[in-house]
Structure 1
Amino acid sequence: MSDSIFGGRSGLGRASRSATALALILALAATTLPNGVVAQSYSFSNVSIEGNQRVEPGTILSYAGIARGQTVSAGELNSAYQRIQESGLFESVEIVPQGNTLVIRVVEYPTINTIAVEGNSRISDEDLQPVIQSQSRRVFSPTQAEADANAIAEAYVAQGRISARVQPRVIRRSDNRVDLVFEVFEGGVVEVERIAFNGNRAFSDRRLRRAIETRQAGLLRAFVTRDSLVEDRLQFDQQLLRDFYASRGFVDFRVLGVNAELTEERDAFFVTFNIEEGQQFKVGNVSVVSDMPGVDPDAFQRAIKMRSGQVYSPSAVETDIARLERMAIREGLDFVRVEPRIDRNDRDVTLDVTYQLTRGPRIFVERIDIEGNTTTLDRVVRRQFDTVEGDPFNPREIRAAAERIRALGFFSDAEVDAREGSTPQQVVVDVDVTEQPTGSISFGGNYSTNSGFGAAISFSERNFLGRGQQLSLGVNTASDNSRYFFRFTEPALLGRDVAFGLNLSYYESEQDNARYNTKVGTLSPSLTFPLNDSSRLQLRYTLQSTDLSIPDGSIDETGELVKAEAERGKLIESSIGYTFSYDTRRTGLDPDAGVLLEFGQDFGGLGGDTEFVKTTARAVAQRLAFNEDVTLRATVEAGAVNYSGDGSRVTDRFFLGSSLMRGFEPGGIGPREYNDAADVDDALGGNYFAVARLEAEFPLGFAEEYGIRGGLFYDVGNLWGLDKTNSDVLYEDGAWRQVVGAALLWDTPLGPLRFNFTETLQKEDRDKDQNFELTIQTDF
């Protein structure tokens, strides 16, 4: 049996009736006594307090402010009543003058026995408890209970359930105790049905919707949480729009307002961003000036990467400032600050950038305090700082460290602030983080037309033991092959900016109807370190065991070359190698373009059974065009492998699978040993390959929330070269193949899927083409 103690919801409560009683007494006194008597003051020789159980009489008297024998007026009696009522300790209060005695009757609020939430399924009790301020074994407060109900409702509003209602109820118990129950009606999610923009000319609505966090509700609404209306997210979206336009030279861009209109059915929102783009500015003159003695501005001028004529971007300015400040440190110039001065030229729509080198205040970092990291070790956070205790304080370095901490992905929230230390010349850097889950385990199945059904189990942890290490292991099995892997990465070996990696894998293929079986085990430790902002170098050692064999049932259908290679049995390869990479996708100055260059070599012969040199190279260029609605991408890849002695085997050579060239089956092109009479058709791979891929991705007119885009592509490639050959070998000298195709790209909760539909323009007679393929889309 529940009861309401909320006067605002259930009519006049006891407190209201008490106030009415006091008012009636005072009014009666005013109407029955002469004017001279009303103006007189009263004194009570006795004060009687009734009804209190937990609260001491002296406490009530202190709130009343009336002592025995004190002369009081009717107005002071009313003030005493108000003070007792406002103490929040009593459900009702009555002050009744009886002759020379002032009687104060109170009814204490009950004590909370238990607190419960009922009717909630979308938000668990554990997640709601932190927003409830009422506590068990504390005095019940209707005001606080109402505030708690509103806080619970706000938690649902943050999930887009604006129709959620929360009603606090009390259940009376013995000994003046109550159970406090919050009855929740969650309601449905009110989603964002449409997002529109007013005032945009340079970019389409479609492109701008990709730049913000809020999403329109669509086909995958059951899996998308960003399609609900959240005020904080809309505020963040406005900042994202400012950053988007600013990075593209629109320095006058403004968000004039955001309108969120609820439909008549109250089941969806229409969100409209009213914006003003302004003009796009380019960089005019770029110069460096200094008022510090002994500093050569020309030397710093040569270090600037920003050039006249390029689209102005604040990120490019920040990059130059960071470069100049690092150069000053290398030159032994401490406390140097680089202040940019931007001069506007409206006539030619350019911005002149002047970097002013000045001597900053002599402020040092006293210490770095880290809080909130219950799992992650302090050193993982601390190594994101280029600054240590005792170094000169550089606000830009602190902001950059904050971004690196957030980029770790270990924390749901990370705040980095600086405050004054023990002296005005020192600062303390406070880091406050909130941990989030970083591990995952997955179970799944797979099916391949080549391998049949299989199972996949994997475990990954991005912050292993709170050390910032990455660990992953898994098993992938099918009816005729199995793969096991273990990967470990220490991103800061010995506290340095050097990543240590260890890869272990084992692959086994045993197919009754296959031309050959393989067993490959690999051990490969590596070290990776940066050369500059855009370049990295990896050094590695690889130990690999390869066992090539022919199943008994396939000896007659296997070619002579593969047989000869299988007779060599198990071979051990020991090699050292390197890979150099240059990547401007994150550090480049143009937000619409990116370039990736990779070059690697492995040298075998450091022990083992073989000597070889294997070289691979890749170059990728990507640009956004047509108001950034279309992605254009060009890729060139090539490789060469040279084995001494008995030459390479089929397990050592390159194969052009779908990841390198679309439109053909694995092993569908390149040199092959073919003898129709002996039913021999072995794909041999090649010692050399070269591939070029051109593609464009574009919207198809579907709403962005569906995640569906289209693509067109053209691939041309060649695979050739064998160390040994015979009269049955075809295409050993190589032949170019060409493929065109269309793609359907779909971003799903399972991952980005890509459906390729291809048509070969040029191929050889024995090539095995493939007109349809389903793959997982990957970034370059």
Structure 2
Amino acid sequence: MVKKLGSALGVLLLWAWSVQGQQTAAPEPALVVVAPFAVHTAQPQPQLSLGVQELLAQNLLNLGVDLVPLPDVRRAAGNQPVTNETQALDLARRLKARYVIWGSLTQLGDKASLDGRLVDAQGPGAPRVLFAEGDLANLVDAAQQMAQQVTVHVLAKAVVAEVAVRGTERIEPDAVLVQVKTKKGELLSNETLQEDIRSIYKMGFFETVAADVTDTDKGKQVTFVVREKPSVVDVKIEGNDKIKDKDILAAISTKPFTVLRMNVVNDDVNRIVKLYHQKAFFNAEISPSIDFPQDPRKAVVTFRIKEGKKIYVKRVDFTGNQHFSDRKLRGVMETKSRGLFSWFSDKGVLDREVLDTDLDRVTAFYHDHGFMDARAGSPSVEKKEDGFHVIIPVVEGERYRVSSIQVQGDFLETTRNVAEKLELKEKQYFSREKLRKDLDTLTKHLMDAGYAYAEVDPVVTKNAENHTSAVVYQLRKGPMVHIEKITITGNTQTRDNVIRRQIQLAEGDRFSASAMERSQLNLRRIDYFEEVDIQSSQGSSPEAMKLNVKVKEKPTGMLSVGGGYSSEDGFFVGGNVLQRNLFGRGQYLALKAHLGSETSRYSLSFTEPWLFDTPLSAGFDIYDWYREYNDFNKDATGGKLRISHPFGTWSRWHLAYVFENAKVSNVDEDAALIIKDQEGRQIKSSLMASIERDSTDHPFLPTRGSTATVAVEYSIPYLGSDSDFVSVVAGVGRYVPLWWKFLGFAHVKGGYIFELDADKPVPIYERFFLGGINSIRAFHWGDVGPKDPKTGDSIGGIKFGQVNVELLFPLAEKIGMRGVLFFDAGNAFDDGEDFRLGDFRTAAGAGVRWNSPMGPLRIEWGYNLDRKPGEDSSNWQFSMGAFF
């Protein structure tokens, strides 16, 4: 027992001795004394002595220097400045400090010079000279400079005086410095230096990175020495056939004259793979290689490609679906199996991002049909020899009906009438799409009444027991808002008033969401701007609103030449010079020319769309027109004075006076008598009136909307006309979205000419001729209609009717190409002939329409469904590049 206690006591004494030894070995902090400075100024300022002392002490403390507290220094020095080295050493011994800082402040005009000395009380050698300069009124910078000089000598960790980069060739040094944490004026840290080296490596531009630290009078000079990776002098693509070099090079980031980075090269491999997957080449293999053929610092990067065969989606199937067939669910998806027209488009290509979006589409489809708990699960995709087989699991859940619909909250006088027209109805199956539309309807109803900040919140309560849902619309209208100010920005050419007249709101008006939407649509339809954005902000009060109309101008002038071919006009060339926004006033001026194998046209047109700053449009046309018909030629010059005015939302009326001096010549010797009788000069002086309505969303490739026109022309002898007739033509057409992206179009057109004086017949070229690309497409222009019984010449009719029905569908949406299947029926009838639908000539066919860079293109083939002897069984119709 005694032996154990002795051993324990020995261990304890040994531990105490080692701790004492460690404590003794620990270095004492190197205390620094900041003595009061002597002050030499033009006017006595004794307070500066203590001020300099305090500023210098504070900066040293911030830099990690251990100081003797200033109160102790002032008691020992008696607030008297130290003026020599002997006094400094004596002060250090009394305060048991290692270093003493002393010196003086001298005024130099508005500047002050700090001249100091740093004395090491325990070491030999002369005092260190300290110097700093600054404004006399603000000595902070000067004190900071001197503190940094002291820290260089006092602390083991020195202050960074400068940070630089050496070795860069293509990379800017500043791009490296922004990555490092070592900064000028901060203490040097080995840990920070190592972190900085790692950060520079992560940039990916350098092979080697090192830090070189050297001593200077002002502190440590830190230089990051780098060596850049080799540069890329060329990028090659090999083995590609289905995708062009330029498309691959545009998709990758490795470019000539850039630094070679392997991580970028590897990323480029993935980019190329993705590019091939978009084209259905899912077996494509890309192998990168890097060579240095001439210089080890200059690399040639080669991407070698094995394209393989295309793999398309073969089947898309569903599991768990009971209420809707696979075909119905596939109809709401973008992912499709390969089809008949897929070579025109990307149909059949598997895209994972599109497939993920399709799951949301299927889920939304179920929700729109009452299955409020339905969801589409993660699909399984299996690659087989014939293509990808996609299986999508579906959980349908129960189907819910609407048990009740209520509208609560802030009512307007007309709210009940609007509520009666909501799409979601009681006892119907619940539909999220109808719910969304009803929210838009109610919100717009409140906003059109001036409540710009109106909110409508739906509260949908499900009853899982009887599978019903109750819907409550909560209306909060907020304050009534008026337009306080409208500002217009971005218009460098178009005048403000041209923009303002398209805006359906004005300062002082009550806010209206419909008027704001229509204003934006109006500004887009005039086609003066690339971008149109109407932004709202609160005005001087919650009841006031400011509108900022931001536009970006686009070129409105055009100088163009081109050509094409039409089955009616043959080959032609043409050109035009036009300005749609003349002098920024919104005026239209155009000079056009059209020269073809069978026709030539020249015209000069001018339109003022807002006469006297009202929506009354006025203008004129002057033209010279030559055309070769089958049995005669027409050469005419004339002009038109016209006015028009909009009414309603999509409609406009037109009035015009037309004068034309025409000459009928080169009449065939065997031409019909009605044609021969009109050989010579004909004067037409007529009045025209028409009404048109056009709500379509595109001039060449519309997807919805309708057109309707009624035009009447009266050729009046009392105004000098050689003919006396009234012509009436009316037409109506409508585009209707069908299933998927199929679009239906139906067009009906008819006309009648009333000959008021048998001695002044309607000119032959004013009669109705059918056939061609715009009427009955299995026939050439003029082949449908009355013919002279003796000669067989087409003589046109005084009445006609035609019907065109089309089914349009996308072939290549990205380039604006459509396919069309059509049915045409129609005929023209002469005076004395009955208008009989049974005599309509019929045709059916197919075609392609493309809004090409050269202009609208149509290629259509029509088959004659009731061919008669001597007629063609079918005809091709072609039109491209027409300017007029």
Report the TM range for the smaller structure's normalisation: 0.5 to 0.7
**TM-score, length of structure 2 as denominator length:** 0.56
Paired position in structure 2 for 1:386: 504
Amino acid at match of 2:802: V
Higher deviation after alignment, 650-659 or 89-98: 89-98
Q: Which residue of 2 aligns with 1:478?
A: 596
2:246 aligned with 1:122, yes or no?
A: yes
| 1:571 Cα deviation from its structure 2 partner | 0.7
1:601 aligned partner: 712
Given that 1:593 and 1:621 are in contact with CA atoms closer than 8 Å, whether structure 2 keeps it comes out as yes
**Aligned partner of 1:562: which letter?**
I
CA displacement, residues 50-109 of structure 1 (integer Å, 9 cap, x when unaligned): 9947999xx99x9657989x8x9xxx53235535875899974436799x9997652456
The CA distance in 1 between the partners of 2:608 and 2:365, in whole Å, is: 34
Give the counterpart letter for 1:697 in structure 2. L
Following the alignment from structure 1 to structure 2, what is the Cα–Cα distance between the partners of residues 38 and 682? 126
Q: Percent identity?
A: 17
Judged with a 3 Å threshold, the aligned counterparts in structure 2 of structure 1 residues 523 and 278 are, in CA distance, closer, same or farther, namely farther
Structure 2 residue runs of 5 or longer lacking an equivalent are: 1-20, 30-154, 167-172, 238-244
Residue aligning to 2:682: 570
Change (3 A) 1:583 1:376: closer
1:613 partnered with 2:698: no
Cα distance in 2 between the residues matched to 1:298 and 1:469: 46
Q: How does 1:187-586 map to 2 (within 5 A)?
A: 193-194=312-313, 256=376, 291=410, 295=413, 304=421, 313=434, 317=438, 320-321=441-442, 324-325=445-446, 328=449, 337=454, 339=456, 359-363=477-481, 385-388=503-506, 391=509, 418=536, 441=560, 443-446=562-565, 448=567, 452-457=570-575, 474-484=592-602, 505-510=623-628, 514-519=631-636, 521-523=638-640, 525-532=642-649, 535-551=650-666, 554=668, 556-567=669-680, 569-581=681-693
Matched, 1:77 2:196: no
Bigger relative contact order, structure 1 or 2 (CA pairs below 8 A, ≥6 apart) = 1
Gap change, CA 1:543 and 1:219, over 3 Å in 2: same
1:715 paired residue among 825, 845, 864: 825
Does the Cα contact within 8 Å between 1:191 and 1:216 map onto a contact in 2? Answer: no
Q: 1:747 to 1:651 in 2, by over 3 A?
A: closer
Compare 37-46 and 654-663 and name the one that shifted more: 37-46
| Matched-pair contact (CA < 8 Å) for 2:594–2:602 | yes
Report which of the two structures shows the higher radius of gyration computed on alpha carbons.
2
Distance 2:605 2:398 in 1: 50
**In structure 2, how many angstroms separate the alpha carbons of the residues matched to 1:50 and 1:336?**
57
- Cα distance in structure 2, aligned partners of 1:489 and 1:285: 56
**C-alpha spacing 1:324/1:752, structure 2 compared with 1 (3 Å):** same
Question: Shift of residue 577 of structure 1?
Answer: 0.3
Aligned to 1:758: 864
Task: Quote how far apart the aligned CAs of 1:575 are.
Answer: 0.9
User: Tell me, what secondary structure is at the counterpart of 2:683?
Assistant: strand
Shift of 1:539: 1.5
**2:764 corresponds to which residue?**
650
> How far does residue 755 in structure 1 lie from its aligned partner after superposition?
1.4
Equivalent pair of 1:599/1:617 in contact (CA under 8 Å): yes
Q: Which residue of 1 aligns with 2:242?
A: none
| Match of residue 794, structure 2, among 683, 689, 693 | 683
Return closer, same or farther for 1:211/1:366 CA change in 2, 3 Å cut-off.
Answer: farther
Aligned residues: 683
Do the aligned partners of 1:92 and 1:108 also contact (CA within 8 Å) in 2? yes
In the TM superposition, what is the alpha-carbon distance from 1:425 to its structure 2 partner? 5.7
2: CA distance between counterparts of 1:235 and 1:422? 47
TM-score, length basis structure 1: 0.62
Amino acid at match of 1:601: V
Relative distance call for 1:466 and 1:227 in structure 2 (3 A) is: farther
| RMSD of aligned alpha carbons | 6.8
When residues 167 and 367 of structure 1 are mapped into structure 2, their CA distance, relative to the original with a 3 A threshold, is farther
> Which residue identity is paired with 2:676?
K
> What corresponds to 2:875 in structure 1?
773
Give yes or no for contact 2:448–2:514 (8 Å, CA) kept in 1: no
* C-alpha distance 660-295 of structure 1, shift in aligned 2 (>3 A): same
Partner Cα separation in structure 2 for residue 186 and residue 496 of structure 1 = 66
Cα distance change, pair 471–354 in 1 and its aligned pair in 2 (3 A): farther
CA distance in 2, matches of 1:714, 1:349: 50
Q: Does structure 2 conserve the Cα–Cα contact (< 8 Å) formed by 1:576 and 1:602?
A: yes
Shift of 1:698: 8.2
Match of 1:16 in 2: none
Partners of 1:443 and 1:80 in 2: how far apart?
Answer: 67
SS of aligned partner of 2:190 = helix
Separation (CA, whole Å) in 2 of partners of 1:371 and 1:262: 55
* Structure 1 Cα separation of the partners of residues 326 and 865 of structure 2: 33
Distance in 2 of aligned mates of 1:621 and 1:108: 73
Instruction: Give yes or no for contact 1:673–1:681 (8 Å, CA) kept in 2.
Output: yes
SS of 1:617's equivalent in the other structure is strand
Distance between the aligned counterparts of 1:600 and 1:720, measured in 2? 20
Counterparts of 1:278 and 1:502, CA distance in 2: 66
2:759 is aligned with 1:639 = no
How far is 1:479 from its partner?
A: 2.4
Deviation string 1:106-164 (CA, Å, 9 cap, x unpaired) is 2456999x999977973799x999x99x9x9xxx9999x98999799979979969999
**CA contact 1:95–1:103 (8 Å) conserved in 2:** no
Shift in CA distance, 371/593, structure 1 to aligned 2, threshold 3 Å: closer
